[in-house]
Amino acid sequence: GQNIDQPTEMTATEGAIVQINCTYQTSGFNRLFWYQQHAGEAPTFLSYNVLDGLEEKGRFSSFLSRSKGYSYLLLKELQMKDSASYLCAVIYSGAGSYQLTFGKGTKLSVIP
Amino acid sequence: EAGVVQSPRYKIIEKKQPVAFWCNPISGHNTLYWYLQNLGQGPELLIRYENEEAVDDSQLPKDRFSAERLKGVDSTLKIQPAELGDSAVYLCASSLGFSNRVADTQYFGPGTRLTVL
């Protein structure tokens, strides 16, 4: 299998910083994506990582360590609208194609 | 630029009835995906199209599910007959390149929430 593990739920305070971790099986790894999904809405692309290191996009940053099969999404200056599920997804290459596999998502609740 | 369009947004049917979902991908995107998402879970791939060819339908329950993308643009997903366990959100996504060559970002539509009574 290609298990992708992330915490089920997290709670953080408005204005704070939160880190959402994701671990995955490394065999066949191509790249890793983070999506945001508000309740009842489509997953929205946030970022992707191909190489090791930190990718920064405004208040959101994503980190990747390919050797450890580990990534995290860092959200700074949390706002109430950041309350959503955050999906970690990995593209694995194999059988002649690239396939995207999702984790179960981390439900983030931002409280005042 | 318009995103991925899906209709209907919501559908309630009784078990054993047929149902169909429609998806129009982002213009110019070659690859189209249908996913199923249960509550509290990540999306799971049902079928993937490159142009009009279904290149991966290994997760599609073929006894009751069917899909088509006749002109390589929009697509329909059908369930006949629907069962109680089919209640879920059905998401359509598209990506620019061919999935056997590149690992492009997938962009999702708003989904169809199906309730089977």
Contact (CB<8Å) B41/A105:
yes
One-letter amino acid identity for B91? L
Measured between CB atoms, does A33 come within 8 Å of chain B?
A: yes
What 3-state class would DSSP assign to A6? coil
- Please check the confidence at residue B22 and state whether its pLDDT lies above 90: yes
DSSP B5-72: EEE-SEEEE-TT--EEEEEE--TT--EEEEEEE-TTS--EEEEEEETTEEEE-TTS-TTTEEEE-TTS
Q: In this predicted structure, what is the pLDDT of residue A9?
A: 97
What integer best gives the mean pLDDT of chain A? Answer: 93
Name the residue facing A45 among B40, B107, B111 (closest C-beta): B107
* Residue A106 tokens, joined: 């981390």
- Please check the confidence at residue A21 and state whether its pLDDT lies above 50: yes
Cα dist. A63→A22, A38, A43, A89, B10 in Å?
10, 22, 20, 13, 36
- Please check the confidence at residue B72 and state whether its pLDDT lies above 90: no
Q: In this predicted structure, what is the pLDDT of residue B1?
A: 65
* Average pLDDT of the residues in B37-62: 92
Nearest CA in chain B to A88: B42
Of the two residues B2 and A97, the one the predictor is more confident about is B2
Contact (CB<8Å) B40/A97:
no
- Please check the confidence at residue B64 and state whether its pLDDT lies above 80: yes
Measured between CB atoms, does B45 come within 8 Å of chain A?
A: yes
The C-alpha atoms of residue A102 and residue A45 are separated, in whole angstroms, by 13
* Average pLDDT of the residues in B97-102: 69
Cβ within 8 Å of B, A 80-99: 87, 89, 91, 93, 96-99
Name the residue facing B40 among A30, A99, A104 (closest C-beta): A104
The C-alpha atoms of residue B94 and residue A54 are separated, in whole angstroms, by 26
- Please check the confidence at residue A47 and state whether its pLDDT lies above 50: yes
CA distance B101 to chain A (A): 7
Indicate the Cα dihedral angle A19, A92, B95, B24, nearest 10°.
Answer: -90
Work out the pLDDT band at A95, boundaries 50, 70, 90: low
